[in-house]
Amino acid sequence: MDKDIATPVRTRAILEKYGFSFKKSLGQNFLIDTNILKKIVSFAELTDRSGAIEIGPGIGALTEQLARSSKKVTAFEIDQRLLPILADTLAPYDNVKVIHNDVLKADVKRVIEEEFPDIEDIMVVANLPYYVTTPIIMKLLEDHLPIRGIVCMLQKEVADRISAKPGTKDYGSLSIAIQYYTEAETVMIVPKTVFVPQPNVDSAVIRLTKREKPAVNVKDEHFFFQVTKASFAQRRKTLLNNLTSQLPDGKQKKEEIIKALQESEIEPSRRGETLSLAEFALLSDKLYPYFH
């Protein structure tokens, strides 16, 4: 077995061999701590019957650990310069496929059908580029993919927002959107010292386990998210103020908004961060007829 890719010495050797320079625009930070990679993989609870989807494999440090723990790995890499490096570093593993594509533009459902035809247990495991973390996670959830969940490394502050509970300063529309689809937990904090180049922020690993069905029942998913986004538009403002200024024709429909709040038994003077998912579901269902 080759030495792990993720050691500082081997990472440096690979980068030097290929004259690779980091692109700030792609948010490239490579992990150089094998123990942390193994821990990340352990949180995904993979078996030899599991499929793993990786986003942004870099030089293959996490990919290698996934290949050892699962039946098959499919990785999306946007940076063409990394393809020959990955072909080299992952040569020992015949259960890895690298797809040169931007995951945000990819038809991930089709990729799953093609790459994992006989695999039931699929996890997304990734060290996500920090500048597109939220759009990637939301795409994976909104596409209703046949996955068990997502284990990913991201900025600690984003992880805090994703797993936040009502009434806390981190709780917002992102917390609600992700907790609507999944059970979210931060499973590990990762110091910036284990990356090259070092990012400016600490990181965290978050595990999202997909719910059998969404956390709450709503008449219209799209409108539910519209209401939650509107409710947090300006955190200092009351629900009533945010909803009237943010919902389409909200100012003309102020009376209807007040009525919906009364029907939901929610004080118009409350702020978005005090509402639970269940309260948002009730409120969006009461508002729905007035906006459709």
Annotated binding site for S-adenosyl-L-methionine: 29, 31, 56, 77, 102, 127
Within 10 angstroms of residue 129's Cβ, the number of other Cβ atoms is: 20
**Burial (0-12, 13-18, 19+ Cβ within 10 Å), 61:** buried
The CA-atom distances, in angstroms, between 31 and each of 127, 184, 275 are 9, 23, 38
Q: Which residue has the tokens 């996500």?
A: 128
- Strand order through the sheet with 203-210: 96-100, 72-77, 50-55, 121-127, 149-155, 203-210, 182-190
Residues of each annotated binding site: 29, 31, 56, 77, 102, 127
- CA 207 to chain CA centroid, Å, is 9
Q: At how many degrees (to 10) do helices 254-263 and 239-246 cross?
A: 140
Q: Give the span between the Cα atoms of 154 and 178, in whole angstroms.
A: 14
Is the distance from CB of 152 to CB of 139 less than 8 angstroms? no
Q: Give the span between the Cα atoms of 55 and 130, in whole angstroms.
A: 12
Beta bridge partners of 204: 154, 189
Q: At how many degrees (to 10) do helices 277-291 and 254-263 cross?
A: 140
Q: Both tokens of residue 91?
A: 């040569």
